[in-house]
């Protein structure tokens, strides 16, 4: 059996790598790399797991993943049927590698400070997505000094963004060993694939080849989550996607399809995670969408 890597090399010999991917679904294993990653989701939906945080992602969103930050873009289950396609455009660069001399310049001080401040990743606000994606498309067609100029312009645009949504707190997970990262990735993948079932601690511990007691110590130390709190966040994240997609029969239907065994428990957990009820969440989302469209 092939052992998957946790720290993976980014292909390419250049210092700035622009990579377009079209595939049935995105790479589905938790991993990290030395390069900072700016990814434009051209087509695709699912859940982004960054360290121990979860964020629903949709088409036409741009995410920045920090250097050596454990992450996985997990597509919705429908993508694994083979009838859909995802498409992404990504810019990889290592600010601590050969490009460090560029960022050490006085003239790039603002960019250097911005990258350090937001080293745990962020999602770009909707109002600058068009500008950033246009620069990424330009970089895809360029080489040499022209690409470097567009790259600096792209980072300058990112620096001007306000109200950035952070993806995680300052990373502690970058210190994971390879074996720990692989084991945690398997646990994440199992929970994300089976959240709708009545999962138990014994089920997940068995998947990790650990006793329940050893699993609890391992998982809490590395994620600051208990098994139940992480599972609840996965389920609430999936419920939020379903609530904002519309077309659902009822909130109780969503609760049961996301693995909750009662609407009362669903409402309680939803409010404890997001600070508002499901109906309040839908109302605020609808209001925000209306304001943006206006």
pLDDT in tens, 261-280: 999 999 999 999 999 999 99
248 shares its domain with 151: no
CA angle 248, 249, 255 (to 5 degrees): 75
Is 125 part of any domain? yes
Same domain? 32 vs 162: yes
Q: Does 152 share its domain with 233?
A: no
Residue 32 DSSP symbol: B
In degrees rounded to 5, what are phi and psi of residue 38?
-115, 110
Other C-beta atoms within 10 Å of 161: how many?
17
3-class DSSP state of 165 = strand
Does residue 66 lie in a domain region?
yes
pLDDT grade for 138, boundaries at 50, 70 and 90: very high
Task: Decide if pLDDT at 293 tops 70.
Answer: no
Tell whether 140 and 235 lie within a shared domain: no
Residues 271 and 155 in one domain: no
Final residue before a domain boundary, out of 148, 166, 184: 166
Domain boundary among 121, 140, 166: 166
Residue 89: the pLDDT is 98
For residue 204, pLDDT over 50 is answered with yes
The yes-or-no verdict on residue 294 having pLDDT over 50 is no
What the block records as the tokens of 174 is: 């970058």
DSSP lists the bridge partners of residue 22 as 87
Q: Mean pLDDT across the stretch 242-260? A: 88
Is 11 domain-assigned?
no
- Predicted pLDDT at 1: 40
Mean of pLDDT values over 40-48:
96
Sequence-ordered list of residues with C-beta below 8 angstroms from that of 48, at least 6 positions apart, any chain = 54, 55, 56, 57, 63, 71, 72, 73, 74, 167
Domain count, the chain: 2
CATH code for the domain in which residue 146 is found: 2.60.120.280
- Give the 3-state DSSP-derived string for 238-282, with helices as H, strands as E and coil as C: HHHHHHHHCCCCCHHHHHHHCCCCCHHHHHHHHHHHHCCCHHHHH
In the block, residue with structure tokens 């499901």 = 278
Instruction: Record the pTM.
Output: 0.88
**Both 152 and 230 in a single domain?**
no
Domain containing residue 140? 16-166
**CATH code of the domain covering residue 275:** 1.10.10.60
The answer to the question of residue 2 being in a domain is no
**Which string of b and e fits 204-235 if b means at least 16 CB within 10 Å?**
bbebbebebeebbebbeebbeeebebbbbbbb
Of the residues 142, 166, 190, which one is the last residue of a structural domain? 166
Count CB atoms within 10 A of the CB of residue 171.
18
281 has pLDDT over 60: yes
Residue environment code for 48-79, b if the CB has 16+ CB neighbours within 10 A, otherwise e: bbbbbbbbbbeeebbbbbbbbbbbbbbbbeeb
Model confidence band, residue 288 (pLDDT cutoffs 50, 70, 90): low
Structure-token pair, residue 63 = 């995410």
The residue among 258 and 248 whose pLDDT is bigger is 258
Rounded-to-integer distance, Cα 109 and Cα 90, Å: 24
Report the share of the chain in percent with pLDDT over 90.
Answer: 77
Question: pLDDT higher for 11 or 68?
Answer: 68
Please tell me whether residues 161 and 23 are part of one structural domain. Answer: yes
- 131-145, 196-210, 271-285: range with lowest mean pLDDT: 271-285
Distances in Å between the alpha carbon of 138 and those of 16, 79, 131, 133, 265?
Answer: 13, 29, 11, 9, 49
Average pLDDT over residues 199-219: 95
Rounded CA separation 88/33 (Å): 18
């Amino acid at each position: 059996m092939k052992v998957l890597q946790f720290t993976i090399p980014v292909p390419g010999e250049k210092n700035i790598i622009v990579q377009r991917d079209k595939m049935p679904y995105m790479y589905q294993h938790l991993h990290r790399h030395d390069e900072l990653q700016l990814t434009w989701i051209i087509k695709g939906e699912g859940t982004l797991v960054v360290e121990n945080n979860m964020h629903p992602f949709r088409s036409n969103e741009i995410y920045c993943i920090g250097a050596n930050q454990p992450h996985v873009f997990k597509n919705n289950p429908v993508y694994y049927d083979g009838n859909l396609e995802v498409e992404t455009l990504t810019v990889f660069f290592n600010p601590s590698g050969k490009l460090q001399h560029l960022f050490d310049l006085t003239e790039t001080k603002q960019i250097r400070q911005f990258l350090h401040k937001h080293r745990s990743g962020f999602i770009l606000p909707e109002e600058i997505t068009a500008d950033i994606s246009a620069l990424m498309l330009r970089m895809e067609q360029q080489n040499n000094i022209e690409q470097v100029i567009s790259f600096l312009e792209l980072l300058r645009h990112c620096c001007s963004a306000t109200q950035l949504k952070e993806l995680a707190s300052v990373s502690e997970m970058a210190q994971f060993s390879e074996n720990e990262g692989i084991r945690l990735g398997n646990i994440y993948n199992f929970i994300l694939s089976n959240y709708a079932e009545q999962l138990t601690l014994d089920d997940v511990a068995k998947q990790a080849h650990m006793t329940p007691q050893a699993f609890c110590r391992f998982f809490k130390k590395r994620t600051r989550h208990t098994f139940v709190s992480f599972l609840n966040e996965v389920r609430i994240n999936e419920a939020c996607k379903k609530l904002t997609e519309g077309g659902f029969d009822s909130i109780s239907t969503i609760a049961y399809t996301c693995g909750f065994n009662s609407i009362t428990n669903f409402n309680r957990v939803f409010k404890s995670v997001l600070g508002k009820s499901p109906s309040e969440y839908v109302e605020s989302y609808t209001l925000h969408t209306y304001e943006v469209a206006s």
